[in-house]
Structure 1
Amino acid sequence: MTLDDVLRDIHAMREDILVFERKYGIPTEIFYAAYQDGEEPADSAWVLDWSQWAGSYEILQERLSWYRRSVEQLLHEAKVASLSQLMERTARHEPVAISA
């Protein structure tokens, strides 16, 4: 697994979320808070969308956290000297291996 793999997942989840935000006209953070509080969709046809939307948001949060931890670990273990050095590699799309 590489940082680029995780970043691609992050972008895919953001694209999925954007579709739902445009469809329902509400930011995900507001939707998700209501969803977590047990709010039910007004239309039964929305049930699948709501579960997919919430799932995409949860995966996004997980991947963002994973990405942050991986960068911190790379810096801590001195596999890269600085964020700038890491960005030099990622900008060239060099594979930067991370722990799964």
Structure 2
Amino acid sequence: MNLDDIMRDIQAMREDMLIFERTYGIPTEIFYESYQRGELPPDRAWILDWSEWAATYELLQDRLNMYARQARQLADNTVSMKLSRLIEQASHRKPVALSHEPIVLSPDASLVRTV
């Protein structure tokens, strides 16, 4: 997965959680704390929703960590890469390489992988 793929996942999961928050009238973080304590929904018809909501939140945390790790790795592997440059590329929907190959900036400041 590249950073753009991960970001699309993050955005989709946030949208899903917003639907749950609107449906049940509670922020995800507060819901998740009670879910982790083993609280059951008052209506058995909500069990699947609550399970999906919790799983979505857990997957979101995983994707956020993955994004942070890969962005740090990219910055560490690229001498001239700064977070501001990464944000600029992401905002223009330019793919950002995440391979373990060395990454350098070309003369026009675009990212290229060396072979």
Report TM bin, short chain: over 0.9
Q: Distance in 1 between matches of 2:88 and 2:79?
A: 13
RMSD value, Cα: 1.2
Give the number of equivalent residue pairs: 99
Matched residue type, 1:46: W
Q: Distance in 2 between matches of 1:81 and 1:27?
A: 36
Q: Which stretches of structure 1, 4 residues or longer, exceed 4 Å deviation after superposition?
A: none
Question: Are 1:20 and 2:20 counterparts?
Answer: yes
Larger RCO (CA within 8 A; separation ≥ 6): 1
**Richer in strand (by share):** 2
Identity %: 58
**Richer in helix (by share):** 1
TM-score, normalised to structure 2, is: 0.81
Question: Of the two, which has the highest radius of gyration?
Answer: 2
- Matched with 2:42 is 42
Q: Distance in 2 between matches of 1:97 and 1:81?
A: 12
- Matched with 1:56 is 56
The alignment partner of 1:93 has SS state of coil
Question: Are 1:73 and 2:73 counterparts?
Answer: yes
Extract unaligned runs of 5+ from structure 2. 100-115
